Amino acid sequence: MPRIATISPVWGCSVSDLRALAKEAESGGFEAIFSPEVPPYNALANAQVFAEATTKIKVGTWITNIFMRQPIMAAATALTIQELSGGRMVLGLGVSHKPVNDRYEIVMGDPVEKMRAYVKAVKSFMDGTAPQLTLKRELPKVPVYIAGLTKGASKLAGEVADGIMPYMSTPEYIKKLAGYVAEGAKAAGRDPSEIDITLGIPSVVSDDLDLARKAGKRGLAGYLRFPFYQRLMTNNGFGDVIEKIKGGADPAEVFTDEMLDSVALVGPADRCRARLEEYRKAGVSLPIIVPNAAGKQSNIEVMKITVSAYGG
């Protein structure tokens, strides 16, 4: 079965649902299930819930905000999950967004430099080389992935991370990001093939294409208010739409079918799978399916549909 992963709901869900979602993904042959992080939901704690409910599937974060916890505690928690899971933990890190961080009085500074320092610190705490440590935990290496939507973040992934976790990118743009990852890896004396290229791909599976498109636009339109995603969609080739939004247009009103189809998997399962193959051909090593409901479906129902559409 080709590599494939998924996530729990972006806006959080109950612990009971987390357990059930992880079991569904594992039974479907998915390589991994990751948790997003939107306070007061904690991606690292959710990853531990996944680990306790499963035996084979990788678990991790997609992503956890580096400004919400010091590197030593991120490392310590990841190591606990690594031990608990028997070596299945993947630590995905990101900087979130300025409007989100502003709510918590977080000053982001230079996000690329902050991420570079954080990844180096986390890795040193996990492998025991940090000079501050008096103890070392002998556990398998925890892979560290970083979120990346831009050239700078992608080059940094190639330089210091084990993988990159972009989102809502076209196949054409993911090729560019993969190229930047390779640049960063080569500059650091690393083999670019060792850096895992993942991509979060929104998915709305339904035999009713119009219904799927409406649900997809409703779920994704809000992202277009964030500066990082405005830049991303401009890089994806939709700068004209972003300019309308900056001018006051409602993102939901200007989100076109073309935009949606360029960054998401929508409609009948066979249509979604065909589009997914275009991402694989563009260089996505691990597609991370981001399930969305087409109608009034529970979290578990949506995961069952997702597993049926993409699983083995």
Nearest Cα neighbor of 65 from 102, 94, 97 is: 94
Across residues 81-85, what is the average pLDDT? 98
| Residue 152, token pair as written in the block | 């700078």
Per-residue model confidence (pLDDT) at position 275: 97
Per-residue model confidence (pLDDT) at position 38: 93
Model confidence at 5, pLDDT cuts 50, 70, 90, reads very high
pLDDT of 98 above 80:
no
CB 242 within 8 A of CB 230: yes
| Residue 291, token pair as written in the block | 């399930």
- Look up the pTM and report it: 0.96
pLDDT of 312 above 80:
no
Model confidence at 199, pLDDT cuts 50, 70, 90, reads very high
Distances (CA, A) of 237 to 138, 169, 171, 272: 47, 10, 12, 21
Q: Which residues pair with 89 in a beta bridge?
A: 59
Q: Rounded to the nearest 5 degrees, what angle is found at the Cα of 230, between the Cα atoms of 66 and 165?
A: 40
Estimate the crossing angle of helix 71-85 against helix 43-53, to 10 degrees.
10
Cis (ω within 30 of 0) for the bond into 63? yes
At position 311, the amino acid (one-letter code) is G
Domains plus CATH for the chain?
5-219+262-310 (3.20.20.30)
